[in-house]
Amino acid sequence: MANIDPVCGMKVDKKIEAEYNGKSYYFCCEHCKNEFLKNPVKYTR
């Protein structure tokens, strides 16, 4: 099963990761990870 970047919707592997509320999220690049970390509620609804 592919992981989906919650910011841009791209299929990603597990190289770039952040955790929020005990769940891991994966990203295509550091930019998407940083956008997520600025406002995780926006991307986890």
3-state secondary structure of 32: helix
**pLDDT tens by residue, 15-29:** 999 999 999 999 999
Kindly report whether the global pTM for this prediction surpasses the value 0.75. yes
Mean of the per-residue pLDDT values of the chain? 95
Beta strands in the chain (DSSP E): 3-4, 11-12, 16-20, 23-27
HSE, side-chain direction, 13 A CA sphere, residue 43: 24
User: In the chain, what are the domain boundaries?
Assistant: 3-43
Torsion sign over Cα 4, 6, 45, 23? positive
Rounded to whole angstroms, the Cα distance separating 13 from 21 reads: 21
